[in-house]
């Protein structure tokens, strides 16, 4: 659950609803400056399903020991790991390449996003076994894709990439594979979606960095600016139409309605769903 404080309460967005927004961004991604995702179907699966493991947990919000709603960034390690592993398992059952990217996403969140976020803490002890397991899974999935003849998706260069990333060596010199750009696309869609979910007054981030443009290593920063309620500008603009209009489903609970988890669940459902429409366009629109 993504929790944003309001003036008198809390606004909630479920992780699957956040992922749904990321999936809509993936569907519209690509123009004369930004390459369209290929293989398109696998990338869209990864975007839409990257948080599918949270569905049961996010049926209701939870409270911490202080009586405050639990935000996804403040969950106990064991709970977080279980949800991510369940979700990655589900994506792998649908699509090996999507599962590889979602495994990299989950492990990367606990490993400085494989170098994209060097200011983040290094892997905490509670997450080291999870990262190790997922990196072994990534190697198995890559082997399976290569054995299946997926040369249009992965190559031996991606084997070298994973070995280097897993060893914290970064992207190898001369790398010309596909995985690194696709991993960064998933990071971009995730961060762009979070920018509209983590605060009641978006955007939560002024810019998204390391966004792939063309080629295996090219990238740029995409800025996000608000021009009116529900209306935003992206620069440079990454989508195939203008504007792109997308819904965000939220629920809001007043602070004084929360006395325990039962009262929180009642208020959460009784207040109903609010659908906010976002309109995203280029700066010159």
pLDDT tens digits, 8-40: 899 999 999 999 999 999 999 999 999 998 899
**Token match 């696998």: residue?**
42
Structure tokens at 157: 């260069």
| Distance separating the N- and C-terminal Cα atoms of the chain | 34
* pLDDT confidence tier of residue 149, bands split at 50, 70 and 90: confident
Beta bridge partners of 245: 279
Predicted model pTM:
0.96
Q: Work out the percent of the chain whose per-residue pLDDT is above 70.
A: 99
For residue 45, give the 3-state DSSP assignment: helix
**With 90 as the cut, is the pLDDT of residue 284 above it?**
no
Which of 200, 193, 181, 207 lies closest to 244, judged by CA?
193
Rounded to the nearest 10 degrees, how much is the dihedral formed by the CA atoms of 232, 234, 240, 241? 30
Q: Could you give the strand order of the β-sheet that contains 2-5, starting from the edge strand earlier in sequence?
A: 2-5, 9-13, 244-254, 274-282, 231-235, 219-228, 207-212
pLDDT tens, position by position, 154-164: 999 999 999 99
The pLDDT, as a whole number, for residue 153 is 81
CA angle, 228 then 231 then 237, to 5°: 130
Q: 212 by DSSP, 3-state: which?
A: strand
Q: For residue range 96-132, list pLDDT tens digits in order.
A: 999 999 999 999 999 999 999 999 999 999 999 999 9
Distance from C-alpha of 34 to C-alpha of 160, rounded to nearest angstrom: 25
- The per-residue pLDDT for range 162-216, each reduced to its tens digit, is 999 999 889 999 999 999 999 999 999 999 999 999 999 999 999 999 999 987 8
Angle at 40 between CA 29 and CA 152, to 5 degrees: 130
Tokens of 166: 């897993």
Q: What are the phi and psi torsion angles at 234 (to 5°)?
A: -115, 140
Asked if the model's pLDDT at residue 152 lies above 80, the reply is no
CA gap 252, 8 in Å, rounded: 10
What's the pLDDT score for residue 168? 84
CA nearest neighbour of 278 among 218, 204, 220: 204
> Is the separation of the CB atoms in 42 and 97 below 8 Å?
yes
Nearest to 251 by CA among 235, 264, 262: 264
Backbone angles phi, psi at 273, to 5 degrees: -95, 135
Average pLDDT, the chain: 95
């Amino acid at each position: 659950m993504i929790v944003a404080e309001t003036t008198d309460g809390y606004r909630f967005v479920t992780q699957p609803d956040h992922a749904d927004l990321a999936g809509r961004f993936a569907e519209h991604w690509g123009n004369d400056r930004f390459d369209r995702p290929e293989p398109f179907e696998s990338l869209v699966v990864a975007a839409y399903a990257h948080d599918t493991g949270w569905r049961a947990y996010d049926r209701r919000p939870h409270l911490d020991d202080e009586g405050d709603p639990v935000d996804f960034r403040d969950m106990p390690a064991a709970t977080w790991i279980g949800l991510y592993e369940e979700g990655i398992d589900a994506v792998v059952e649908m699509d090996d390449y999507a599962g590889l990217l979602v495994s990299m996403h989950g492990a990367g969140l606990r490993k400085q996003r494989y170098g994209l976020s060097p200011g983040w803490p290094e892997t905490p002890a509670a997450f080291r076994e999870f990262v190790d397991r997922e990196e072994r899974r990534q190697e198995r999935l890559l082997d399976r894709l290569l054995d299946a003849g997926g040369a249009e998706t992965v190559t031996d260069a991606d084997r070298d990439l994973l070995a280097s990333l897993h060893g914290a060596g970064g992207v190898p010199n001369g790398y010309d594979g596909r995985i690194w750009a696709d991993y960064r696309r998933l990071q971009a869609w995730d961060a762009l979606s979070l920018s509209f979910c983590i605060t009641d007054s978006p955007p939560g981030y002024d810019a998204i960095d390391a966004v792939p443009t063309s080629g295996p290593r090219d990238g740029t920063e995409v800025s996000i600016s608000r021009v009116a309620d529900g209306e935003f500008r992206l620069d440079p603009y990454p989508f195939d139409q203008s504007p792109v209009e997308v819904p965000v489903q939220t629920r809001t609970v007043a602070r004084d309605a929360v006395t325990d988890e039962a009262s929180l669940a009642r208020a959460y459902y009784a207040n109903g769903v609010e659908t906010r429409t976002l309109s995203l366009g280029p700066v010159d629109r």
